[in-house]
Structure 1
C-alpha cells in the first residue's frame, strides 16, 4: 500500500495483519475467507488494491479476479482507480494493462500473475483455478451466485482466499446480511471458546466490522469515532456533520454508520408517530409513588416486555420499557420483584392477549385480582377487557397528540411506535400485532401501563388529579 501511494491507516494494517496470517503448522494462510464490513469513504478501495497487488507479487502465476455490482462497475474501478494508482506508482514498471473487452487484465511480468475482472453471474470465476477472488460492494448482490462461482475454482489452490467487502446495504442485500450475521456469530463463538480455552481452534474465516447499533445516536461525534476508522486520517468530524445535515437519516445511517437500511414503513393513520420525536425527554424519571406496570407478550411468544407509566409532578406521564427479553419464563419473577420494590399502583394485563396466560402465575406470585372491583388496592392486577384495550389505545393516541406523555427514546419502544399497525374495533381501533411491522409488545405494555395509571391512580394515590394526565 505504501508503494502504491497510500500507506495503511491503523485499521487497514490491522485487517491486513489478521487476514494474511500464516498458520505456522501448515505454512498456509490461516483464513480462507476474509469478510469486511465498513462504512463508505474509509479506505476500502486502497486496501482492496493493496491485497490484490500483494498477492500478484508475492507468489508466481496468481489468478486474481475482482467483481463489483456489475461488470461495468468492476471495469470502471479496475481501470480508473486500480490501474491509475498502479501506473502512477513505484510499481508501474512491473505491470502492464490489457484492455480488450472480455479479456481485461493487469499483467505482472516478473511473477506472471494477472488481475482480472468478472461479471456478477453464475458463470463468474469459471475457467482457470482461482487464487484470490474479491467480491466488492457486496450490498448490491441479492444472492450467493458469485460465491458459488468462485469457491469451486479455489478448491485445488492451497493458498486461495475469498475476500468480500461492503458498506451496509438494505433488506434486499440478502447475501451481505447473511454474511454479516454469520460473521458476528463467528466472533461471538470465538470469544466464548477462548474464555474457556485459549488454545481453542480458530475458524478458517475472519471477519471485521465497524458499525453503530441502533441505540447509538447518529448525531453524536462519539458514535462517529467508534464506527468510522478513517476519522482523523482522511475524514473529519466537520465533513461528517455536514453530511448529516444534508442527507436522509436512513441513508446517512447506511453510508456512515454501516447500518442496514430498512424500508420506511407506511404511516398508520391512527398512530401519531410523527409526534413521538417531540415527546422525548432524556431526563424524565418515574415518580416512585405513582408507578403502574404492565406486561405484554409477542404473538409468537418469542419476546416479552414489561413497561411502566408514572405521573410526573408536571402532570405529564412518563413511559418506559423496564425489560424486554426473549421468552416468557422470566416475566413473572421479574414482575414479582418489581412489585416488592416499587409497590406499583397496579399491574395491567390484557385478557385475550398472549400475556393472558401469565395471569394465574401472577396471582400465585402474590399479585392479586381486586377483591372489591370498586375499591382496588395498590398493587392489584388490572385485567383489561376488550373495551379497556380499545379505550387505552385511544387514550395514548390522544396523549401523544396533546403532548402529555414523555419517553426516553428507548429502541424497542420507538421501533414499536414506528412499526405499529392498527385494526378496526367497532367504530374505534386497537393495536394489531398480526400486521405490525415489528414486535409491538413494548408499546402495548406501555399503553396498558398508562391506562392502569389513569384508571387505578385515583383509587390508590393521594392527591391524584386525573385531569393532570389529560392536561
Structure 2
C-alpha cells in the first residue's frame, strides 16, 4: 500500500462479518480487501458502531474493488431494518451495469432467501431485502444537490467529478448522517472510490492529496494502492510488485496483452494499472532537461556573505498557499533562486515576509493583482513605521517574468537550488499565452504554482532592485 490508515488493534472490527458475506457471494476477500474491511469496519467502543464515517479508496483497475463494495453493501443492509444503501456512478448506465452484475451474483448465492424481488425499471432499479433494507444504483446527476437519506453511499469513479459536483453530492448526503445515526443507531458511511484521475479530477485529487498530507478528519480512513510516484509503469515487473491483485486475479503472462489495450495511450496505462495520476501538462513552463541541468545546492544563511538578496512571494489560486523564495545575486552576476517556505493560506504570511525582509535588509517582489492582490495590500498597510521595500512590478513587467526566468536558465544567468517541492511545481505548472507573451496559468496547472512563480519573481527582482534611500540633500 502506497499510504493509508493503519489498523487500530485496540478496536474490534466488523471486517470478519464482511468477509463472510463475501464468501457467501462467491468472492472471498483478497488480502488487500480484507485490510480495507478490517480498518473501515473498526467499531467505536463508545458507540458500538462504525468509528469511521468516510472511507477514501484509491486502487488500480482489475483489483476487485467492485466485489469489495458489493460485499460491504450487502452486509450493511443487515445491520438492521429499513436501511438505504446507494451506489453512485458517473452515469445511470454505469450504475445500472454494475447493479446487474451484482444482482446476478446475489441471486445465485446462498443469500438469495433474504432478498426480495428486484425492481428493474429504468432509473428506479433497486434490490430490496426481507428486512426492509434496499440497495439502489444511481447516477451522480440524480442525487447532486438533493438530500439523500443514506446509511451507506458509495461514490464510485470519483475521478470523473469536478470539485463542484462532488461537493454538491456531499452537501446532499452529509447533513443526513447525524439523523440516520440517531434513527438507526448505526454510523452511516460515505465511500469515495476511484482510480487516480487527471488534472480535471479536481474533487478526487483534493481528497486524496489531503489524505496524503495528513489533513483528513480523524473519522476518515483512506487507502492508496499503486506504483510509487517515481516507478516506471512500463516496467511490468513493477506492476506485478505493487498491484494489489497481481497473481491473484490475473497472471504475469497476461500483462503484455493488457498493455497492448493501451498501445497509444501510455498515460492511460499508467492510470489503469499503476494508479498514477495523469498530470496532463502538455505545455510545461520549463523543459525537464533544462530544469535538471540548472540545479545547484541550496545556500545557507551563513554562506550569503555580502551577496544582495531579494524575496519573491506568490499565492496559489483560492489563496490556499503562499510561497516565499529568495533571489541571491552571486559574485559572478548570476542569480540563484531558492524556495524558502510554503505556508498554508495567507494569514501568517505578512509577519513572516516582513521578518525576512528586515533580517536580510532585502526588498520584496509581489504581483499586486490576481491571487496575490490581498496579500500585497496587507503588506503595504501593516502600520509599521518601517515598511517593506518593494520592487515596482507593473502589469507589463509581470508578463515578462516567466520568459525572463526561462531565458536566464537557458543562458546560465539564473539557477535554482535543489528542492523537491520546487521540482514538483516546475513539473506541474503550465502556461497560457497572451499574444507573444505567456504567464503561468494557475487554473490550467495540476499542482501548486506558487513555488515556481515566487522563484520567477525573485529572479526578476534581483535585476530590478529599488535604489537605497540616501541622506536628504538640499541644493
Residue 53 (structure 1) aligned to one of 74, 79, 82: 74
Q: Which residue is 1:376 aligned to?
A: none
Q: Tell me how far 1:83 sits from its aligned partner.
A: 3.3
Cα distance change of structure 1 residues 11 and 404 upon mapping to structure 2, 3 Å threshold: farther
2:135 match: secondary structure: strand
1:329 match: secondary structure: helix
Q: Within 5 Å, which residues of 2 pair with 1:178-197?
A: 190=218
Superimposed CA distance per residue, residues 237-266 of structure 1 (whole angstroms, 9 cap, x where no aligned partner): 99699699964549846985465x67757x
Point out the more displaced range, 348-357 or 5-14: 348-357
Pair 1:8 & 2:22 matched:
no
Cα distance change of structure 1 residues 318 and 74 upon mapping to structure 2, 3 Å threshold: same
Structure 1: tracts of 5 or more residues without a match: 191-202, 340-345, 368-380, 457-471
Q: Which residue is 2:405 aligned to?
A: 396
Residue 279 (structure 1) aligned to one of 269, 274, 291: 291
Q: Which residue is 2:313 aligned to?
A: 297
Cα distance change of structure 1 residues 139 and 249 upon mapping to structure 2, 3 Å threshold: closer
Cα distance change of structure 1 residues 289 and 140 upon mapping to structure 2, 3 Å threshold: closer
Residue 325 (structure 1) aligned to one of 333, 336, 343: 343
- Kindly indicate whether the alpha-carbon contact (under 8 Å) linking 1:74 and 1:117 is maintained by their aligned counterparts in 2: yes
Residue 208 (structure 1) aligned to one of 222, 226, 232: 222
Quote the Cα distance in structure 2 between the aligned partners of 1:180 and 1:54. 26
1:298 match: secondary structure: strand
Superimposed CA distance per residue, residues 23-66 of structure 1 (whole angstroms, 9 cap, x where no aligned partner): 444444444x3332313324321220110222345645655343
Q: Which residue is 2:185 aligned to?
A: 158
Cα distance change of structure 1 residues 455 and 219 upon mapping to structure 2, 3 Å threshold: farther
Cα distance change of structure 1 residues 274 and 100 upon mapping to structure 2, 3 Å threshold: same
Q: Which residue is 1:70 aligned to?
A: 91
Q: Which residue is 2:230 aligned to?
A: 217
Q: Tell me how far 1:455 sits from its aligned partner.
A: 9.5
Pair 1:83 & 2:103 matched:
yes
Q: Within 5 Å, which residues of 2 pair with 1:208-287?
A: 208-210=222-224, 216-217=229-230, 219=232, 247=265, 249=267, 252=270, 256-257=274-275, 259=277, 264=281, 267=283, 273=285, 275-281=287-293, 284-285=296-297
Structure 2: tracts of 5 or more residues without a match: 1-21, 369-374, 466-475
- Kindly indicate whether the alpha-carbon contact (under 8 Å) linking 2:60 and 2:226 is maintained by their aligned counterparts in 1: no
Pair 1:415 & 2:425 matched:
yes
Superimposed CA distance per residue, residues 116-164 of structure 1 (whole angstroms, 9 cap, x where no aligned partner): 4334455799999755443333344525358627938947333262432
Q: Which residue is 1:462 aligned to?
A: none
In the alignment of these two chains, the number of paired residues is: 406
Point out the more displaced range, 274-283 or 323-332: 274-283
Q: Tell me how far 1:296 sits from its aligned partner.
A: 1.6
Pair 1:20 & 2:41 matched:
yes
Residue 100 (structure 1) aligned to one of 120, 124, 127: 120
Cα distance change of structure 1 residues 180 and 158 upon mapping to structure 2, 3 Å threshold: farther
Cα distance change of structure 1 residues 48 and 282 upon mapping to structure 2, 3 Å threshold: farther
Q: Tell me how far 1:284 sits from its aligned partner.
A: 3.5
2:71 match: secondary structure: helix
Q: Tell me how far 1:178 sits from its aligned partner.
A: 7.2
- Kindly indicate whether the alpha-carbon contact (under 8 Å) linking 2:146 and 2:169 is maintained by their aligned counterparts in 1: no
Q: Which residue is 2:55 aligned to?
A: 35
Radius of gyration: which is bigger? 1
Q: TM-score, normalised by structure 2?
A: 0.59
Quote the Cα distance in structure 2 between the aligned partners of 1:310 and 1:297. 17
CA RMSD in angstroms comes to 5.9
